[in-house]
Structure 1
């Protein structure tokens, strides 16, 4: 029997790989991100580089803007390329300065013309509009609402007597003798005269309160002299026979003595024509001597003086100094 030749057994080949296994292998084969030295990935490095680049670009932009601003300020002050100074050329500056020169020159001329026209309507001697009241006020000297002193101490009343001497300097007899003797009881009207004459009012008319025989004006004796004068009002001609009358606000009366007698303000000193045409004018004054006794010492005396006997107002509640004045006196030993 013949035997058939035996064929060699085929060598076992590689087994086929399933599809699922292939897909897993592909996923494993995907390139893994390489880690850097500090454990950072390449993507993180790229992002950091991008951020650094942005920051650098922003800083560069800021520096460029600063340089541009500096250059713009320099160019604004003076631009050598265009020849402009402060944004304008020389011809432009010249034109604008010429415009403002003409404009403000015109305004100045208009103002001067307006003032000149207004001044032509004014009188140098009499104000066109008087804001003062037609009725004068009264003031006292020494200039104090409360006169308090010790009659035994010269330094206590030295300031008061100084004020009185200073006030009466213009009334000195040597000066007043150069003035005119006027008619007593009549107005001294001199409207047509360019320079007005002045009526005499001698200091010696105040007698005990003149400061001539008694330089202390009675303060050393505790019988002080108070001088009352009326404010000047241009053109004032009081009617009647004006005089000063003083009263004490207390129950018991106080003895007083007036100089000139009866406290008269003679009409010959009116009217007043103003400082320019009446430069040497002195208004009439009245001196009141308070004849205090020892019983009156250390007691505050409230005294009110009014101008009476004329049409001048002395009872206006809105103005307590209109035609009247109130002051206080206190004497101690």
Structure 2
């Protein structure tokens, strides 16, 4: 046991040769000097490459956009989808818009709070850019914070917008394969606007919606379709790393949704260069509305008994 401990001690430090782990002071100095300059050089090279990459990479937009966008492939043409608000959660039930008619505490309603938060960029007062704070709907009706966006009356307003794709410009009109659906919807958005139309996903949903929808756009109010004017496109990216772009939107107000049932809704956009694919979500969005009204539920039960 003693000789093993002696060999281990000698391997760590040899007093005769004055070596530590097999190297004397001169060798350790040379090795330390080599690795010192090696790591300094490696860190310097890495920092130089990062600096060059940051210098040649656009900060406010992707390098390839529009027709050169890498989002477009042969099997997946460049076609934006639609988005909607309120959407207070990112969980599996994020597509549900719950309207509770049996409460007076609408200030704490997460759906109303989400709409308030989303619309802040449209009402911020700052002078950083001349492009800010231009999009407004002058006559939104009951789709305002003071009216709880129609939630308190059981006539919810859903904000529908087109998702942002840098340098994408929608062209007014419709694709040939959408002609029948476009004419059936009766859309007349105007020569410089694209149409937005919402409908029940299934026949029972069409009945539950009641066919009474009001589209409140920037320029008009309509009961068939909403409109997004093309002057707000294209989206050109952030300005000085600030997201000041105001996406145009349409208020879609459901005036008489059937209470206490789940209603599936699809909203789609019509344009010459936007493809509609319900499975992929291109050119459309899907959400559900549930209006909770216990009073009307009790009345319907009483009528059934009578």
Number of the residue aligned with 2:190 = none
Gaps of 5+ in 1: 1-65, 180-194
Aligned match of 1:232 in 152, 164, 168? 164
Cα distance change on mapping 1:332 and 1:122 into 2, 3 Å: closer
Higher strand fraction (1 or 2): 2
Give the TM-score normalised by the residue count of structure 2. Answer: 0.70
Number of the residue aligned with 1:276 = 239
SS of the counterpart of 2:158? strand
For the Cα contact (< 8 Å) 2:11–2:22, is it kept in 1?
A: yes
Map residues 179-190 of structure 1 onto 2, 5 A cutoff: none
1:246 aligns with 2:208: no
Q: CA RMSD in A?
A: 2.7
1:95 aligns with 2:30: yes
SS of the counterpart of 1:218? helix
Instruction: Report the Cα distance in structure 2 between the residues aligned to 1:237 and 1:75, rounded to whole angstroms.
Output: 78
Shift of 1:120: 4.5
Aligned match of 2:82 in 133, 138, 142? 138
Instruction: Report the Cα distance in structure 2 between the residues aligned to 1:79 and 1:203, rounded to whole angstroms.
Output: 86
SS of the counterpart of 1:265? strand
- Count of residues paired in the alignment: 245
Shift of 1:328: 0.9
Aligned match of 2:283 in 300, 316, 323? 323
SS of the counterpart of 1:124? coil
For the Cα contact (< 8 Å) 2:121–2:244, is it kept in 1?
A: no
The structure whose Rg is larger is 1
Give the TM-score normalised by the residue count of structure 1. Answer: 0.65
Instruction: Report the Cα distance in structure 2 between the residues aligned to 1:196 and 1:80, rounded to whole angstroms.
Output: 78
Number of the residue aligned with 1:210 = 144
Shift of 1:131: 4.7
Cα distance change on mapping 1:238 and 1:151 into 2, 3 Å: same
Instruction: Report the Cα distance in structure 2 between the residues aligned to 1:79 and 1:298, rounded to whole angstroms.
Output: 87
Number of the residue aligned with 1:258 = 215
Cα distance change on mapping 1:206 and 1:67 into 2, 3 Å: farther
Instruction: Report the Cα distance in structure 1 between the residues aligned to 2:105 and 2:22, rounded to whole angstroms.
Output: 73
Number of the residue aligned with 1:20 = none
Deviation by residue 1:49-78 (Cα, 9 ceiling, x = unmatched): xxxxxxxxxxxxxxxxx2122122222333
Shift of 1:103: 2.7
SS of the counterpart of 1:246? strand
For the Cα contact (< 8 Å) 1:168–1:203, is it kept in 2?
A: no
Aligned match of 2:101 in 137, 151, 158? 151
Number of the residue aligned with 2:8 = 73
Map residues 45-56 of structure 1 onto 2, 5 A cutoff: none
Instruction: Report the Cα distance in structure 1 between the residues aligned to 2:109 and 2:41, rounded to whole angstroms.
Output: 60
For the Cα contact (< 8 Å) 1:138–1:229, is it kept in 2?
A: yes
Shift of 1:327: 0.8
